[in-house]
Amino acid sequence: MTSPRLPLRTERLVLRPHRESDAAWMHRVCSRPDVARHLLDDPWTAAMAREKNAERRRRTDLDGSSGSLNLVVEHQGVPVGDVLLWFTDREHRVAEMGWVLDPAHGGRGLASEAVGAVLGLAFDHYGVHRVAAQMDARNLASARLARRVGMRQEAHLRQDWWSKGEWTDTLVFGMLAGDRG
């Protein structure tokens, strides 16, 4: 399969591979306690943002060696978040995805537009059979987003993850290629 044509464009967004300069906005967003609360990591330091950004810059093709695609979401030329897609079972075309949106840009449907575009790319370009999204159950905005883009809640795992000094619940959402209408 060929690499997708990037950047991916939607009505209001450009989804593009990460650049070295993206570490600054990633740090600004992921160092916020209200954002980091729902991530696996503690609030990011500047060094951590540079490290994570370097990792993401290498992940530019789901069918490439990394088995993942990480895209920055830009609105009007400003990075507002990112969407990550990676294989959990390459042979059977099963993937997982995650996303982060700067809360300053929330409430306008930008995350739904970005996640919907990446789901379309996963199914239409890469021939993925299934995409899952797992999240901290307290992250109500992400759960609403998953539902909005047509993912189905498949599980609510109670106190299955020890995170930042406490047990947390996990929600699992999924979408099959055949679910798209």
pLDDT (tens digit, 9 = 90+) per residue, 5-43? Answer: 899 999 999 999 999 999 999 999 999 999 999 988 999
Burial string for 39-69 (b: 16+ CB within 10 Å, else e) reads: beeeebeeebbbebbeebeebbbbbeebbbb
Q: What mean pLDDT do residues 84-88 have?
A: 98
Pairing type for strands 60-61 and 130-136 reads unpaired
Tokens for 43, please give them.
Answer: 């609030």
**Number of alpha carbons in the 13 Å side-chain half-sphere of residue 35:** 18
Q: What is the pLDDT of residue 1?
A: 66
Pairing type for strands 94-101 and 130-136 reads parallel
When the pLDDT of each residue in the chain is averaged and rounded to a whole number, the result is 96
Q: Which of 110, 115, 114, 111 is nearest to 132 (CA)?
A: 115
The answer to whether the beta carbons of residues 150 and 106 sit under 8 Å apart is: no
CATH no. for 8-179:
3.40.630.30
Please write the tens of the pLDDT for every residue from 110-137: 999 999 999 999 999 999 999 999 999 9
Q: Which of 149, 105, 138, 178 is nearest to 37 (CA)?
A: 138
Q: What is the pLDDT of residue 3?
A: 79
The answer to whether the beta carbons of residues 112 and 145 sit under 8 Å apart is: yes
